[in-house]
Structures are given as structure tokens and as C-alpha cells.
Amino acid sequence: MVVDISVAYRGRGRGLTLSEELKTFISEAKASGMTSSFDVACEDSKAILKKSGLPYLPILGFEVPAQEMLEEAKALQSLMLAHRSDYEDNRGWKSLVLHGISSLHTQGAEKYGMDPEDDSIYRWTDISDMAPVTTAFFKEQFHYDWFHRVRIMMLEPGGYICPHTDFDHYTLGPVNIALNNPEGCEFVMQNAGVVPFQQGTINKLALVNRHAVFNNSDQARFHIIVHGCPNWEYWSPVYMNSYRRFVDHESTSSHLEESKKTQSLFSRVTRGLLQTNS
């Protein structure tokens, strides 16, 4: 359903002056929905991550203690720091670092004049001791060989993240885990529409695509973003299982069949011909 965004803003975004760019981006991306071309015949996990063209991949097979993690995040709310507000026109986006340079270094190491590939600069921060369930989940159940950044990200009610890209080439990159996702809060991606999130959802995201988030609700939204290196033996089948499920779902999704868009799924999906967004 295409929401009349002007009504939505009047209803919940009290007093906000949203840029035309943000409003137009959200409206157009939602109206177009999933238009990405992606390969449905990847035969190995590296191809899924580097060449599939998927705008996002919902990761299956994890039991995320999302409610407990949400309660820990809410308890730390007063410590969170404004994130990317000094050089971008975002509003209400905050962060706290569980693993990284320190709990205060919410951005990539290069922003602080450091080498992001230098593993020696990353560690579990003092904040990790204050979020024991969350930290134990990543240490014991997430099966990463090492982490760079693991951050709690909060978007305040009425907050927004302006349209942007984070990569200049295609890759299914950072992991984004929803501790909650209030009704009215949407992560919108160019060529994909609204990226599905509900409590406990894990998505790997292709952030070469422009994306924006608007929390058009009266509750704060808490997600966790993970950068690091997955244990390949564990994660490779996870990627493959998740990919097959996603492709099967997209191929049979009734909403796509009912779509009145100009092209059918099968004319959009490229079988065997890789078409990336790079």
C-alpha cells in the first residue's frame, strides 16, 4: 500500500520540516517497490554476497533474544551519542558502541584518522558490560571470527536518516538486527521499497543502494549494526539457506503477482546473468 506521506507527516512528525529530497525519496521508493534485478541461481555463498544483486538478504537460523536486548538498549538510552549529525542532515539518530574503538567512537575508524583494517584498535567497550545479554549473543551465538564495530543504533520518535549510500560498489555488507521496529518506522531502499524489519529480524544490506529511514511513530527504534568477519564454515550455509528462501519467496510472492507494475518478476529477475548495482 502506498501511504500518503504528507498525511503521515502531519499525523506524527509534529513540527518537523522534512526536506523535499527525503519526502520524494521515500514516496518514490515505496511506490516502485522491488525493482532490483538479482540473480536467482547463485551456486556459492561468496557469489551471493558479492554478485547476486540482492538489495537485502533476511538471515535465517538465529534465535535473537531481541526483547531482552531491547530492554538493555533502552536502559542505556541516556548514554547514546548523536551519530552523523554534524555533517549530515539527520535527526534523532544516536549510537552506542559495544565493540569498537571505544564506546564513544560511533563512526568508522577512518573518520578518526585511524586505519579501519587495523584489528588491534577494536575491543569490547565498557558499555558491553552493561548489556550482558546482547554481548553474550554476539560472543557465543553469532559465530563471527572477529568484530570491528557492533553498535546499538537508536532513532528517536520522528527521527530520520536522510537518503544516502554507504558503499560505492555492490556487496551485501553490514548486518542490521531489529530489536524493535515501531509501526510507522520504515527503512526505505531505492529499487527495493520498504526493507522488511520486525523484532528479531536480521538483514544483510546492500548499501550501495540509496536508503533512508523515517521513524514516523511515537516510540524510539533500536537496531544493532554489526561489522566484522563471519566464521565462514558456519555462515556459508546460513547465507545459502537464507538466499534460497528469499528467492523462493520473492518468486512466489502474491503481492508481486498482483502488482500492476509494468514488468513481471520474471522479466526483472536475471537468471544466470549477473547484474549488480556497481
Task: From 70-78, 131-139, 165-173, 263-271, give the range in contact with Fe ion by CB under 5 A.
Answer: 165-173
Residue number of the CB atom closest to Fe ion: 166
Decide whether 213 or 238 has the Cβ nearer to Fe ion: 213
Residue with cell 538498549: 73
Decide whether 174 or 230 has the Cβ nearer to Fe ion: 174
Decide whether 44 or 88 has the Cβ nearer to Fe ion: 88
* Inter-axis angle of helices 5-12 and 20-32, nearest 10: 130
* Grid cell in block for residue 212: 533512508
Residue 206's beta-bridge partner residues? none
Task: From 66-74, 133-141, 143-151, 166-174, give the range in contact with Fe ion by CB under 5 A.
Answer: 166-174
Nearest 5°: the CA angle 176, 147, 136 is 80
CB of 164 to Fe ion, least distance (A): 6
Residue with cell 541461481: 41
CB of 211 to Fe ion, least distance (A): 6
CB of 92 to Fe ion, least distance (A): 15
CB of 172 to Fe ion, least distance (A): 14
Distances from the Cα of 216 to the Cα of 10, 40, 57, 74, 189, angstroms: 10, 34, 24, 19, 16
**Site for Fe ion contains 166 (CB under 5 A):** yes
CB of 272 to Fe ion, least distance (A): 31
Decide whether 50 or 84 has the Cβ nearer to Fe ion: 84
Closest listed residue to residue 160, CA positions, set 90, 219, 257, 263: 90
* Grid cell in block for residue 248: 523462493
Q: Say if strands 56-58 and 202-205 run parallel, antiparallel, or are unpaired.
A: antiparallel
Decide whether 156 or 166 has the Cβ nearer to Fe ion: 166
CB of 158 to Fe ion, least distance (A): 19
CB of 165 to Fe ion, least distance (A): 7
Task: From 48-56, 159-167, 181-189, 212-220, give the range in contact with Fe ion by CB under 5 A.
Answer: 159-167
Task: From 47-55, 161-169, 185-193, 223-231, give the range in contact with Fe ion by CB under 5 A.
Answer: 161-169
Decide whether 108 or 182 has the Cβ nearer to Fe ion: 108
Inter-residue contact 146 to 229 (CB < 8 Å) = yes
Closest listed residue to residue 99, CA positions, set 37, 148, 52: 148
Inter-residue contact 188 to 195 (CB < 8 Å) = yes
**Number of residues this chain uses to bind Fe ion (CB under 5 A):** 1
Q: What is the DSSP string of 48-64?
A: HHHHS--SEEEPPS---
- Residue 20's H or E segment, with its range, is helix 20-32
CB of 242 to Fe ion, least distance (A): 21
Decide whether 190 or 242 has the Cβ nearer to Fe ion: 190
Decide whether 71 or 166 has the Cβ nearer to Fe ion: 166
Q: How many CB atoms lie within 10 A of CB 183?
A: 10
Binding site residues, Fe ion, CB under 5 A: 166
